Structure 1
Amino acid sequence: MTLPLRILLFYVNHLKPKVDLNRVAPEKIREMNRKELQKIGSIIDVSPCEMERVEEGAFTATDGTSISYRYYQPLEMGKEGKSILFFHGGGFVTRDLNSHDKACRRLAQENRMPVFSVAYRLAPEFKFPIPVQDCYDAFKWLVSATADLGLNPERITVMGDSAGGNLATVVCLLSKQEGGIAPWRQVLIYPTADARLCYPSVDSLGKGYFLTRELMEWFVMHYQRTEDDIINPLMSPLLAEDVSGLPPAYVCTADLDPLRDEGKAYAEKMEAAGVDVEFQNFRGVVHGFLNLRRLCKRQNSAMHADIAAFLSR
């Protein structure tokens, strides 16, 4: 673990004011996160990559709601018509397009592909399965829009970190279930895969490493609609009976992340079912290192190189 990352963890664990999650509304938590990101964003991450274009847009969800997205066009585009549909992390409750703006710019630049970052609706205002449906609607919208955008509908990669990784692979499950065009690839960055929180790393790393068990339980409580939701494969894809036939997957985990074991288990489940899987566990980093490039430069760069190689095939 790098010294800057140790300093960040010391700040989070010992100096940062403690918040009683049971006494603070989710909207207040979101506001606090936004302010903290503005305060330390330049400390934990590097400057944003320059883009050819960054535009806001919207599509219509199944229930008629307008869902926003942000489009990133890199300075140099590949000629294969490939694109990335990105779902941000944040436990289905927090984060937004701005929290992952730098990450999406890097992904667009390093893969020479346009990125569409989706502002799916958040819990608890919009509980499971509404965020799932928003993301699946985003995929279907992008498939239908590719002709106008000069893209290939059969070369769309679904990608996300943490809760976004969960949503990306669930989009693949739904696409398989309903038939038609499916995602070309799935990239799952330290995904949450089992809402039961029953894997050993949840207990061994659930305190002191940024993402805590307490916070994960708070996320699940706000996301679930009923007690039975946590065993629904669309919330816990590790519980899906059949994951064969899913798109090739790149799955990575962080070695100091409570989600480490379930991410590895999901990669192994897909591989056992015949899915082409590349798995990487990055040592010395914590959950969220996609957005900690200044603090986890070596591992972050290696992850981006892995993704670029995976998507170039």
Structure 2
Amino acid sequence: MVKQWENLDRTHPSFPLPFRLYEGSAVTKSQPLVLYLRGTAFMEEERPEVESAAARAIADAGAKVVEADYCSVSGNVFPRALECVFGAFMALIAKRKRFGLARSQLLVAGDESGGNLAASVALKARDHAAGELAGQILLSPMIDPRMATLSFRQADQIKMRVRWSDGWSHYLRSACGFEHPYAAPCLCSRLSGVAPALVVTSENDPLRDEALGYGDRLASAGVEVIRQVLPPESGWTGIYKGESGAWTSQLCPEFSKFMRGLKT
């Protein structure tokens, strides 16, 4: 079941974001609550009409998913975008009971530019809300503004190079953006203490190397990390166009396994 966009609380100053709620068939009081951030390459500000295939897959894996519309509110510019999603995260801490999940673990997830923000929320949660975030799910996170990895050469094949380049320029147009660890998590020098991570990419994904590189750095910092690299035939890169594919059924077990392995 998925609802249309609505406001969690129109009067609550810390959660001004409209949201969509995704639920799977198995609804329990102990299921995880996931804040989901959709990828838009930091370029789109219109509220999407269709549901997110990735958010749906996470819900089908047993979570209740809140997809927050940060784009139309923040303009996709740092630090405003991060302030919006972190405000949503803090509101969910206080409002879990609103979803009947007062004791559930809280996770953050995102794909592409939403994966950037999910990783940034995990860093900021470590620094300002220790112990509140149980895990982070990073689906081909767009976290390296240098765009110089070997796999990134494939970006032209799916016609994303210019879009990602323009997106980074838009997101980091503030003078300090590129230097700030919350803006480009892959450049952060201190990764220890963040929540456990599930990092997903595919063999033919232009963002593969930066996603796996970030996963390796998290692991080197002592963070529990699960890496999943899907085969080219999974259709994973269709995620950038909002498309589903074989990857949805392949990832449901990985999501479930990751969420079951989180510490209570």
Distance 1:62 1:163, change over 3 A: farther
Paired residues, what number? 257
1:157 maps to a residue whose letter is L
1:307 partnered with 2:255: yes
What is residue 253 of structure 1 aligned with on the other side?
201
Deviation per CA, 1:170-210: give whole Å up to 9, x if none. 111011111344311110001111112122222x2121124
Distance 2:76 2:26 in 1: 37
1:135 partnered with 2:89: no
Contact 1:97 1:118 in 2 (8 A): no
Distance 1:124 1:258 in 2: 26
1:234 partnered with 2:185: no
Q: Matches of residues 116-195 of structure 1 in structure 2 within 5 Å?
A: 116-122=66-72, 125-152=75-102, 155-195=105-145
Distance 2:159 2:132 in 1: 35
| Misfit runs of 4+, over 4 Å | 52-55, 59-65
Distance 1:148 1:216 in 2: 36
- Root-mean-square deviation (CA, aligned residues, Å) is 2.6
Distance 1:194 1:231, change over 3 A: farther
* Larger Rg over CA atoms: 1
What is residue 205 of structure 1 aligned with on the other side?
154
1:240 maps to a residue whose letter is C
Deviation at 1:63, TM superposition (A): 7.1
Q: Of the candidates 22, 30, 34, which is equivalent to residue 72 of structure 1?
A: 22
1:77 maps to a residue whose letter is V
Deviation at 1:289, TM superposition (A): 3.4
Helix, strand or coil at the partner of 1:208: helix
Deviation at 1:122, TM superposition (A): 4.8
Contact 1:86 1:158 in 2 (8 A): yes
- Higher alpha-carbon deviation: 168-177 or 229-238: 229-238
Q: Of the candidates 80, 84, 87, which is equivalent to residue 34 of structure 2?
A: 84
Contact 1:124 1:223 in 2 (8 A): no
TM-score by length of 2: 0.86
1:232 maps to a residue whose letter is H
1:221 partnered with 2:172: no
Helix, strand or coil at the partner of 2:141: coil
Q: Matches of residues 286-301 of structure 1 in structure 2 within 5 Å?
A: 286-289=236-239, 291-293=242-244, 296-297=245-246, 299-301=247-249
Q: Of the candidates 41, 58, 80, which is equivalent to residue 107 of structure 1?
A: 58
Distance 1:97 1:61 in 2: 23
What is residue 40 of structure 1 aligned with on the other side?
none
1:107 maps to a residue whose letter is I
Deviation per CA, 1:211-230: give whole Å up to 9, x if none. 2x211111112112235412
Identity of aligned residues (%): 25
Distance 1:57 1:64, change over 3 A: closer
Contact 1:210 1:287 in 2 (8 A): no
Deviation at 1:152, TM superposition (A): 3.8
Distance 1:225 1:249 in 2: 28
What is residue 230 of structure 2 aligned with on the other side?
282
Distance 1:68 1:52 in 2: 14
Helix, strand or coil at the partner of 2:145: coil
Distance 1:300 1:200, change over 3 A: same
Distance 1:126 1:215 in 2: 14
- Higher alpha-carbon deviation: 279-288 or 247-256: 279-288
Contact 1:256 1:283 in 2 (8 A): yes
Q: Of the candidates 30, 42, 49, which is equivalent to residue 98 of structure 1?
A: 49
Distance 1:102 1:256, change over 3 A: closer
Contact 2:37 2:117 in 1 (8 A): yes
Deviation at 1:154, TM superposition (A): 5.9
Contact 1:257 1:286 in 2 (8 A): yes
- Higher alpha-carbon deviation: 81-90 or 71-80: 71-80
Distance 1:124 1:198 in 2: 28
1:271 partnered with 2:219: yes
2:61 maps to a residue whose letter is E
Structure 2 unaligned spans of 5+: none
Contact 1:104 1:117 in 2 (8 A): yes
Structure 1 unaligned spans of 5+: 1-50
